[in-house]
Amino acid sequence: MQPLTSINFDQLISLAFSLHSTPGSYAFVLGAGISIPSGVPSAWGVQEDLLIQMAGAEGETPDDPFAWYERKFGEPPSYESLLERLAPTQHERQQLLRGYFEPSDLERELEQKKPTAAHRAIARLVATGSVRVILTLNFDRLMETALKDLGIEPVVVSHPADVHGLAPVHTMQALVVHLHGDYLNPTAMLNTQSELAVYPEHVDSFLDRIMFDYGLVMVGWSATYDPALRGAISRSARRVYTPYWIEPGSLSPIAENLRSQIAAVKITSNGDTAIGRLADAVDALSDRESRHPLVPAVAVGTAKRYLAGRTTSIRLHDLLQLEFDNLHQQKDLVLSRTGTESPDGGYARMLAQVEEATLVPTALIATAAYWGTDESDQWWIGEIARFTAEISAPGLRHVGELPLISALQMFYAAGIAATASGRMDLVHRLLNLHAEDPARRRLPLSQLLSPDVVFREDASPGRHLYKLLSPLFVQHLTVGTKNFEESWDTFEFLRLVESTFAKPSSVRLAEVARETASHLDSARQRMDAANSSNDVDEHDAAEKSLRLATRHHDMQIGGLADNVSVWRPYVRVQNTSIEVFRSSIGQKLRAQLDIQRAPHILAQAGLAGGEPNDLKALVAAVDVAIGIIGRDVAIGSLPGGGGVVPDNFRIGDL
């Protein structure tokens, strides 16, 4: 996507400033070109199809249906005469025309005959008060639909008589004028040369007022077949606002003559692109003028809105960059580069202010990770590693490492959000980003950004981060408490899987575990076969082989578990048997991996190198490592005289 300020769109910036500084000063003129991309036929196309149907009913297939009609009836075809012959009653005429302008079930499924991006962008401009008046030459009601989708009920003029008694235009939020009628008023539909040559006097007077009071933005209009409208535009001598003409190709000679006469600026673009960027530019100008510091709830709502369109809004990119720039310049992070504590409250106040300042970027990243795409991921993912690069060597170590607080917050928010939305490819990518630690060693973020590392002086390193992020996910992203808890546990568990897999020493341990797992599978198959036979000796031998294979595999998993760098992870554990604790999420993952024949989604995403057997071994090892810590914490929580060992809790809550 080209930036708005590229040379092809310089004129749009001028128009955006005009719409922003003098809202309601422009009227849009919509030709067939704005609606045709939706699948709605042009007025000419509808008339031609009706003529073909009429000729077919007469048993004829003329090469030129318009000439055929004139020869047969002695007059050029008009909608009024044509519809009188095809559908005598008003109801029949409306039913006949609905098929051209309203979507069938199939067309609705294919998203045809719906407002185009240009219609919706104009509706956005109306919603902000930037535009009030829309003159359309089209019979469809796509513009009205786009407005109503935003909760705007427009005043609609679809018949010349509607102009009489019309309230002052400046008092209306939205006025849509069908200069050539619409399909719900068949008797007012104009399409012949004679019909389009002149408007009723009171309509001309109305247009004179519009041309005098408003600048024009013309979209998808050829001007060739509309002499009455050309006349209304050209006879107005007042040019307070520069006219604009949006057209992807060259203008017709007639249109070019009119453009030159009124000194309109031609914007070479299609309506969807140009008006979409125009609306973005007007919104951006409004945001900059009225912008208050964002809070997480507003940040989430803003990012959601930007991500809700068919195409990813460049405004989210700009908002992310603005918030990242603000965070990089936050006074405590700037001071941390000197390794010096603030004289105003010391390190504790610095820490609190850095966490507070990071909340908005964290909220934006979490929203983008949950609802975003690979394209929008590019706008924020590298920023996490950049904050680790700001760690300062001189002075107090804990002060110099303050940027890790921001990086950790954003890293976990992104990972939890990606986990909650099932974006496991993004989870894998996050866990395998690399950055330098304070000793200038290049490490994966799965190792560097661990609560155990960043909050190493804390008795429960992850608990504080969990409490900090919980309101963002539960209240603002509304993923639900249970979903947040499970997503937190899953991401923390997978972080340990990947950080262990990244250690060179784990490679050999995983290979051996893979071998013992294969032996264990063979022993289980042998045991299953023995259970189906009456051979007692074979049953005893198979049972002994299974016990031995299980012991060997458990030993290898235990060795791999010793390689897991974890201290007090804030995850839920449960007592699976007598004082044998395991991670709740680890048990769930192990069960999935044991029964699933096809590669698990985590292996498909590339975790543990994408090797299913290595993934099984590492999941088991992390589960055991967490379980050992859980057992020690549970027993250590008992009073001196003993007591009941808790069987389900979060490490760090006891």
Please tell me the distance from the alpha carbon of residue 571 to that of residue 555, in angstroms, as a whole number: 24
Mean pLDDT across the chain, nearest whole number?
Answer: 87
Please give the share of the chain, as a percent, with pLDDT higher than 90: 53
Same domain, 579 and 511: no
pLDDT of residue 439 exceeding 70, the answer is: no
pLDDT of residue 467 exceeding 90, the answer is: yes
Predicted local confidence at residue 4, as pLDDT:
36
CB 275 within 8 A of CB 246: yes
Amino acid sitting at position 179? L
What mean pLDDT comes out for the span 375-380? 94
Same domain, 36 and 182: yes
Q: Name the token pair of 233.
A: 């535009």
Please tell me the distance from the alpha carbon of residue 132 to that of residue 456, in angstroms, as a whole number: 60
pLDDT of residue 290 exceeding 50, the answer is: no
Number of Cα atoms under 13 Å in the Cβ half of residue 117:
17
Element (H, E) at 270: none
pLDDT of residue 359 exceeding 90, the answer is: yes
pLDDT of residue 51 exceeding 60, the answer is: yes
Same domain, 600 and 493: no
Please tell me the distance from the alpha carbon of residue 422 to that of residue 420, in angstroms, as a whole number: 6
CB 566 within 8 A of CB 452: yes
Last residue of a domain, one of 290, 310, 331: 290
The pairing of strands 131-136 and 215-219 is unpaired
Predicted local confidence at residue 407, as pLDDT:
96
Phi, psi dihedral angles at 523 (to 5 degrees): -65, -40
Q: Name the token pair of 60.
A: 């004829």
Phi, psi dihedral angles at 131 (to 5 degrees): -135, 140
Same domain, 320 and 453: yes
Phi, psi dihedral angles at 41 (to 5 degrees): -75, 160
| DSSP-derived 3-state class of residue 69 | helix
Same domain, 256 and 128: yes
CA angle in degrees (0–180, nearest 5) for 344-346-351: 110
Q: Which residue has the higher pLDDT, 54 or 631?
A: 631
Model pTM?
0.58
Contacts 24+ apart (CB under 8 A), 406-409: 406/327, 406/333, 406/354, 406/357, 406/358, 406/361, 407/435, 407/445, 407/449, 408/449, 408/451, 408/454, 408/465, 409/355, 409/358, 409/359, 409/362, 409/465, 409/468, 409/469
Q: Which residue has the higher pLDDT, 391 or 9?
A: 391
Same domain, 549 and 652: no
Predicted local confidence at residue 81, as pLDDT:
67
The number of beta carbons lying within 10 Å of the beta carbon of residue 491 is 25
Express each pLDDT in 331-344 by its tens digit: 899 999 888 898 87
Same domain, 367 and 274: no
Q: Which CATH number goes with the domain that contains 56?
A: 3.40.50.1220
Please tell me the distance from the alpha carbon of residue 421 to that of residue 550, in angstroms, as a whole number: 36
Same domain, 473 and 545: no
pLDDT of residue 291 exceeding 50, the answer is: no
Q: Which residue has the higher pLDDT, 92 or 517?
A: 517
Give me the DSSP letters along 487-530.
HHHHHHHHHHHHHHHTSHHHHHHHHHHHHHHHHHHHHHHHHHHH
CA angle in degrees (0–180, nearest 5) for 526-531-537: 80
Please tell me the distance from the alpha carbon of residue 281 to that of residue 6, in angstroms, as a whole number: 13
Same domain, 328 and 471: yes
Q: Name the token pair of 53.
A: 């149907």
Last residue of a domain, one of 543, 562, 581: 562
Same domain, 274 and 300: no
CB 138 within 8 A of CB 34: yes
Q: Name the token pair of 224.
A: 């060739």
Predicted local confidence at residue 438, as pLDDT:
64
pLDDT of residue 289 exceeding 60, the answer is: no
3: pLDDT confidence band, cut at 50, 70 and 90?
Answer: very low
Q: Name the token pair of 221.
A: 């209009």
Predicted local confidence at residue 7, as pLDDT:
29
CB 491 within 8 A of CB 419: yes
Count of domains observed in the chain: 4
Give the chain's end-to-end CA distance (angstroms, integer): 52
Element (H, E) at 652: none
Q: Name the token pair of 215.
A: 């600048």
Please tell me the distance from the alpha carbon of residue 642 to that of residue 635, in angstroms, as a whole number: 9
Report CA-CA distances (Å) from 518 to 279, 524, 550, 552, 642: 61, 10, 11, 11, 42
Express each pLDDT in 79-115 by its tens digit: 666 767 777 666 676 677 777 778 778 877 777 889 9
Express each pLDDT in 244-285 by its tens digit: 999 999 999 999 999 999 999 999 999 998 999 899 888 877
Instruction: Classify 7 in phi/psi space as left (phi over 0), alpha (psi -120 to 50) or beta.
Output: alpha
Residues in CB range of 96: below 8 A, 6 or more apart:
50, 83, 86, 87
Same domain, 296 and 284: no
Predicted local confidence at residue 305, as pLDDT:
78
Predicted local confidence at residue 8, as pLDDT:
45
Predicted local confidence at residue 465, as pLDDT:
96
Predicted local confidence at residue 294, as pLDDT:
58
Segments forming the whole domain that contains residue 238: 1-290
Express each pLDDT in 387-436 by its tens digit: 988 777 678 888 989 999 999 999 999 999 999 999 999 999 999 999 87
Phi, psi dihedral angles at 110 (to 5 degrees): -85, 5
What mean pLDDT comes out for the span 540-566? 92
Same domain, 401 and 542: no
pLDDT of residue 11 exceeding 60, the answer is: yes
Express each pLDDT in 218-234 by its tens digit: 999 999 888 999 999 99
Number of Cα atoms under 13 Å in the Cβ half of residue 407:
32
Residues in CB range of 137: below 8 A, 6 or more apart:
29, 30, 31, 32, 43, 178, 179, 180, 221, 226, 229
Element (H, E) at 411: helix 402-420
Please tell me the distance from the alpha carbon of residue 83 to that of residue 94, in angstroms, as a whole number: 10
Element (H, E) at 253: helix 253-262
Last residue of a domain, one of 227, 258, 290: 290
pLDDT of residue 507 exceeding 50, the answer is: yes
